[in-house]
Amino acid sequence: MKKIGILTSGGDTPGMNAAVRAVVRMGLNYNDAMLGIYHGYQGLMEGHVQPLTNDGVHGITQRGGTILRTARSEIFRTPAGCAKAMDIIHAYEMDAVIVIGGDGSYRGAKLLSEHGANVMCLPGTIDNDLGYTDFTIGFDTAVNNVMGEMDKILDTMRSHDRVGVIEVMGRNCGDIALWSAMTGPADIVLTPESPLEWSEAARMLMQSKLKGHKTCLVVIAEGAGHAADFAKFVEETTDVEIRPVVLGYIQRGGAPSAADRMLAARLGARAVDLIHEEQRNRAVGIRDNHIIDVPLDEAIESKQNQDEALYNLHLKLNRFNL
């Protein structure tokens, strides 16, 4: 029997609850004591710890956000903050802490590991910006959310013969933008990784207008710039009128998709197995549909690269190139 703490950290993401359920139920299969740590590292420092029971995780899979709440904590990163967090880990005699979050949360977990804690990390971020795993929990739902909003925005744009640019999240990763542009679909995608210059995109919009296309949709990743700035640039350099839209938090709200629930279940269960295999400080992920785990350091160092084949496919399916 082990004592396992679990926390969610950084931006909330759909599927975090499904991961919490999987971790708790898997732990109970081993007769472990499962401890919920509320409000991320901030709550760990402050001792917001409550037992998580079988019934306590009933009915949470389909809920967005995180029942454990989440937080961003600057104090935790200080030596005093980390020492306080370690005191709580020792006070509750936690054998391991499972952290669900993005790359910042992974760095926080590494800090704990350097002070002697055993940490297992699950990728919980809509950004899909952790290179060691093909997918992060929440990414699929975010893409579905963006796709749904694009459908609605296109109804209006087609009715009014308008051109628009939609800004999506992703930090420095263009995956939400690329996948949304592929599935939306959108005519042009601007990602931090893509070589397409704004001037080239503006030229394409101009040509599209000259060809008589009434409606045109651009997706811009936040890491490639803001929709309002791009719209201003286009209107200053061409005679195309273009409406900017920023989707914001609706991208990461709502019920998780089936793919995210499945991913969360598989990754959460594996994290608990690893603790019982006496593994230390690892990150769980998925590659080619196989659940994998890598040393935490490797997960933090891995760089996410844009899927060039997917980007090129988007160009091929784009009407501008035909």
Binds ligand ATP (CB under 6 A): choice among 38, 41, 135, 139: 41
Residue 66 as a binder of ligand ATP (CB under 6 A): the answer is: no
Q: Which two tokens stand for residue 162?
A: 């308008």
Site string for ligand ATP, 192-221 (x = CB under 6 A): ------------------------------
User: How far is residue 242 from each of residues 21, 62, 184, 227, measured CA to CA in Å?
Assistant: 45, 37, 18, 10
Site string for ligand ATP, 118-157 (x = CB under 6 A): -------x-x------------------------------
Query: CA-to-CA distance for 97 and 272, rounded, in angstroms?
Result: 10
Binds ligand ATP (CB under 6 A): choice among 8, 61, 66, 105: 105
- Strand-pair partners of 188: 218
Could you tell me which stretch among 86-94, 103-111, 196-204, 234-242 binds ligand ATP (CB under 6 A)? 103-111
Q: Report the C-alpha dihedral over residues 227, 231, 232, 235, rounded to 10 degrees.
A: 180
Q: Taking the complex as a whole, how short is the minimal distance between the CB of residue 14 and ligand ATP, in angstroms?
A: 12
Nearer to ligand ATP, 108 or 184 (CB): 108
Query: CA-to-CA distance for 233 and 218, rounded, in angstroms?
Result: 13
* Catalytic residue selected from 127, 134, 175, 187: 127
User: How far is residue 225 from each of residues 71, 150, 190, 205, measured CA to CA in Å?
Assistant: 26, 19, 9, 17
The DSSP code for 321 is G
Residue 175 as a binder of ligand ATP (CB under 6 A): the answer is: no
State the residue number with the nearest CB to ligand ATP.
104
Length of the chain: 322
127 labelled catalytic: yes
> With contacts defined by CB under 6 A, how many residues of the chain interact with ligand ATP?
18
Residue 108 as a binder of ligand ATP (CB under 6 A): the answer is: yes
CA 237 to chain centre: 35
Residue 76 as a binder of ligand ATP (CB under 6 A): the answer is: yes
CA 112 to chain centre: 22
Q: Which two tokens stand for residue 257?
A: 């998709």
Helix pair angle (258-276, 139-160), 10° resolution: 160
Nearer to ligand ATP, 77 or 158 (CB): 77
Binds ligand ATP (CB under 6 A): choice among 4, 7, 9, 163: 9
Where on the chain is the footprint of ligand ATP (CB under 6 A)?
9-11, 41, 72-73, 76-77, 101-105, 107-108, 111, 125, 127
Catalytically annotated residues: 127
